[in-house]
Structure formats: C-alpha cells, structure tokens
Chain A
C-alpha cells in the first residue's frame, strides 16, 4: 500500500514538474510563419518655426537592413484644426535608407505627419504628432479632450 502510494506520488510529482517546465518558450514564435515588418524612424527638427523650411526624414529598415529601393514613400502632412491643406507628397531618396521632404508650414499649431511606405510585402503608415511654434488654446483643448487621433482621411494613396 505504502509503496503504491509512493509510486503514485512520484508519478504525479513528475507530471506537475513537467507541466511547470512546459511553460511556453520565449522563442516559440520563431518556429512559425514569420513577418518582416518595415520599421520607420521619423526625424523632425528639434524645433520648427512657421514659414521656415523644415526637413522631415524617415529612415526605413527591414530585417535590420536599410531599405533603399522602397516601392513608394509618401509623406502626408496636416494640421489638427484643418486650416492647412492636407497634401500627400512623394519623398526624395537620400540613400542609407533615408527618405525626406522639405516643407514650409505657414502657421503655428499642432500638426501631424504620416508616412506611407511599402517594400517587400510590408506596408506601413506610421504617424507622428508635432508642434510648429506654439500651441493654440484649441490645440490644447483638443489634446486634453482626445487621446491623440487623426482627422479622417478618405482618399487613397495608391
């Protein structure tokens, strides 16, 4: 009787141990279908003044390598209060994975830039919020009321 008990105890203990060890491996995802997402760093000048030229750059990487021949890289810039025209422009290729546009923004306020890029089956649309000059009271209210979100965009870019 005691022996049986011991054997069973042992068996179950081993089981519990096994199940504790079986917690998912960190790299389990590498055993399944993998994606190669484009990664983007969007660089803006430290401070942007109205009516001055500002260069907006994006650096693209995929699988840790610079992407120099993206299918397309477009920049879309708009102002939160809708007072500036929302334009989509093609970026200029700079090499080393960098694409950029030069932009003159005519008034202070809260702005957004959205980069549309595609390469090797990965399509991305990262967007950044930035400030030209000073924020208006309207901008502040907007930021406090809403979690950052963009205005709606119904045009298609490709």
Chain B
C-alpha cells in the first residue's frame, strides 16, 4: 500500500527534474546559438551578399566585357602561335601563362600573360589578330567579389575565417533547429508560419526562426558544397578522398600534375648572351617544347569542351595542361601533355572521378549556380537573401531585448551537466577541427580571463 502512495510523488519529482534539466539545456543551447550568432552574423552577411552577386558572374561579365568578348566570325582563323606572337610583341618581355581559344566562333581568344609583375588577360580577335583590350586581374570586379567571398581579401587568414564562419554556421543551424522545435504542442504557427498577433516580441522571434527553418536546407547545402574548396578543411578532405581512389584524380584539385618524361639533360638550352655563344654547341641541341598549335590540335583531337584553357608549363619539367571547368560538372576535363613530346600523360574527365569526386564536382557547380542554369541562380539567390534576413532579424531581436548593462546573453549552466550539448560540440569539433580549435580558444579565454574578472563575467553572463 505504501508503495502506491509514494510512487506518484517520485514520478512528480522525476518529471520536475526532467523539466528543470530540459530548461537548463534549452538555455545552454540558446547561449551557444546566441554567441555564435553575434560573432559570425557579420561574416555570414558578407558571404551572403558577395555570394548573391557572384552567382550572376556570367551575366555580369558578359555585360561588362562585351566589347572584349565578341568578335565577328570570318573564314580563316589565325594560328594560335601567331596570336601569341602578336601579344608578346605588343607586350615586350611578357611571359604567356595560359591561352583560351574561345568556346564559340564569335568569341575572342584570351591570352594570359605576366607583364612587369602584373597579371593581364589580353583579348584577341582570332580572325584579324587585333588586340581588343586587356584586363588586369587585380581590377576585375568579379575576381574582387570572389576574393571577398573566399578569403575576405585577407589571404590565408581570411580563408580560415570564412571556413570558421561556415563551420560555425553549421553549429548555428543545429542549435537553431533545437530552439525552433516546438517545446509544448506542435503547431504550424511559430514554426512554419510566423505569428503576427502574439505581440512584437513573438513576431520578432518568428521572423527569425520561421525563415531560418525555411532556409536551413539550402544554407546547409551551400555550406557543405562550399567547404570542399576551403583552404584547410577542404584541402585535407580532398587529399583524404583522393587517397582512397574515390575523389578527384590528383592534380584536378589537390596534388601535382605529372612531369615530362624527358630528362633535363636532353633539353635544348637557350643562350642568353647577346653576342657570343655562352653555351656549348652540344647543349643547344636537344628537345624543344612542342608549339601551341600542336597543343590546340591535340585538344581538338581529344574532344576538350570548347571553353578550355591551355595552361603553359611553368618549369622545364612541367607540362601543358588543358583545363575545362564549364557550367555543368559532367563536361569537366583536365589533360596533361608532355611539353616536349606532345604525349598525353594524364586525361581526367568527370567520368574518371571517383564517386565522392563526382558528388563534390556537382556540388561545386550547384554552389556556383551554373549547373542548372538560371533556375539554379534564382534558388541560390533566394537562399542568400533568406540567410541575410535571418542574420539581420537575429541581430535585431537581440538588439531589441538587450539590457542596458551587460550583453543580455542567456545564463551559462555548467557544461558538465549538458551531456548532449557537450557531445554535439565535441563531434563538430572533431569533424571541423577549426571549430574544435576555436572551442579550445574560447574555453581557455573563459577559464583564464573571464572567470577571474568579475566585471567581464557579469557582462558576458558567464
């Protein structure tokens, strides 16, 4: 009998404990979401804005550079080698780095050169050999946008920051979904559609959480397809996958291209002195590089996508590389050609990628908005705009309820009692070492400084 009387009380206490625990967990997750949001919102905003613009690169560049791009088709084309001669005669001392024949009959060809330490693209009419214009790589608007999007114009440091922001966006998504998930009753209001009649505070919350839910899938997709080309996580991921045979073949993303089969001693040397022969005659005899005309012929023979570029060897042992990364991943190709014999040393098409390589390749063209054409650009733009909205409303709702003193962060419970959260952070910290590193950094700061400074502790609610 006694037992029966006691039981309901224990159950009651248990559910109460459970509730307390849950409330504490909610607070802890909110706290992480809050700090991650405040810190990374500015970066996500930058990424979303530059991303929205970069999506339309093809259309924008077509508009900006129309005069450089379009030529009138005529009967005979000038040999590529002559086009290069025209460029190197015009820019004395220039070194050709790559040549792009142009994908259509009405498209100019492009010669990339290094000229007085500047990197220039020279546009040529392949029918009459006239130079249509030049663009300095430093001044190309889209390159600038890309540089901000990829590395905040701050080189490796910037690249790591962008990667960190992307990884933390995943933390934001996961914690965000937890906070978004209805606690009591399931209802569309406040989850799938905002509640307009429950007061401004609820509306502000819903204008953040509801669009965030709608944009989550797309944003996660953009993050996961963007990460493989990041500098730290991406490079290591690519190397790991390439090593298994399931990724990109080496040299397409990570790894070096093959080298020429010709031994250096068999290559003809070039005399440098102006009047006397400073190189023994025998050293002048030897292999010389095949001409660009042969390379273009090989490209046509091998069926390269017409948008390909020829990248010139940068050293005596180097190779000519034919490279095409057209709008659709299935048309990608990378071919390495021995610069002295014209032999195809490696020929990697989309079909030769491993399974993960194929997925990453399609992910990248989808990320860039080229794979599915205009529809792709439109959907990606919506995701970017949605992300902007969510970032702004997130900051705004904090701003509106921010107390006059302190940051207004949710109180920090002991992390030790928060097994699920701790587990999540450790998993993410392992999957994304930069997140792990930043966590360690945060903990160290907290442990060494914040916990020892009452003022800071109060401000951050730590």
Contacts and interface: CB of A to CB of B under 8 A. Distances in A.
A126 B340 contact: yes
Contacts of A88: none
Nearest to A48: B285
Contacts of B422: 4
Contact of B277 (A1, A7, A140): A140
Contacts of B443: 4-5, 8
A122 B344 contact: yes
A16 B433 CA distance: 7
Given A22-B243, A125-B294, A38 B343 contact: yes
Contacts of A32: 245, 249-250, 348, 352, 354
A31 B254 CA distance: 14
Contacts of A39: 261, 341, 343
B135 interface: no
Interface in A34-50: 35, 37-40, 42, 44
Contacts of B346: 29, 33, 35
B447 A1 contact: yes
A11 B287 CA distance: 53
B341 A125 contact: yes
B415 interface: yes
Contacts of A128: 268, 285-288
A70 to B, nearest CB: 13
Contact of B82 (A19, A31, A126, A152): A152
Contacts of A112: 288
Contact of A12 (B82, B345, B436): B436
A1 B439 contact: no
B285 A130 contact: yes
Nearest to B258: A29
Given A122-B344, A143-B284, A12 B415 contact: no
Nearest to A29: B250
A-side interface size class: 35 or more
Contacts of A147: 270, 289
B416 A4 contact: yes
A15 interface: yes
B447 A5 contact: yes
A124 interface: yes
A128 B436 CA distance: 56
A13 to B, nearest CB: 9
Interface in B390-448: 415-416, 422, 426, 429-430, 433, 436-437, 439-440, 443-444, 447
A87 interface: no
B271 A15 contact: no
B454 interface: no
B260 to A, nearest CB: 10
Interface stretch (B22-30, B147-155, B234-242): B234-242
A71 to B, nearest CB: 14
Given A28-B250, A144-B274, A149-B289, A11 B429 contact: yes
Given A11-B429, A37-B341, A144 B437 contact: no
Given A22-B236, A22-B243, A39-B341, A33 B347 contact: yes
Nearest to B436: A12
A131 B284 contact: yes
Given A7-B426, A12-B436, A124-B343, A143 B293 contact: no
Contacts of B130: none
A50 to B, nearest CB: 15
B439 to A, nearest CB: 6
Contact of A148 (B289, B343, B440): B289
Closest 10 A/B residue pairs (Cβ) = A31-B245, A37-B343, A32-B249, A12-B436, A126-B341, A148-B288, A15-B433, A19-B236, A125-B342, A33-B352
Interface of B: 79, 81-82, 232, 236, 239-240, 242-245, 249-251, 254-255, 258, 261-262, 268, 270-274, 277, 281, 284-291, 293-294, 298, 301, 338, 340-348, 352, 354, 415-416, 422, 426, 429-430, 433, 436-437, 439-440, 443-444, 447
Interface of A: 1, 4-5, 7-9, 11-12, 14-16, 19, 22-25, 28-29, 31-33, 35, 37-40, 42, 44, 112, 122-131, 135, 140, 143-144, 147-150, 152-154
29 contacts: A5-B444, A8-B429, A8-B443, A9-B440, A11-B426, A11-B430, A11-B436, A12-B429, A15-B436, A16-B433, A24-B242, A28-B249, A28-B255, A32-B245, A32-B348, A33-B249, A33-B352, A37-B341, A37-B345, A126-B262, A126-B340, A127-B290, A135-B277, A143-B284, A144-B274, A147-B270, A148-B289, A149-B81, A152-B291
Given A32-B250, A127-B340, 14 more contacts: A5-B440, A15-B433, A19-B236, A24-B242, A24-B243, A29-B258, A32-B354, A33-B249, A33-B346, A33-B348, A37-B343, A112-B288, A125-B341, A128-B285
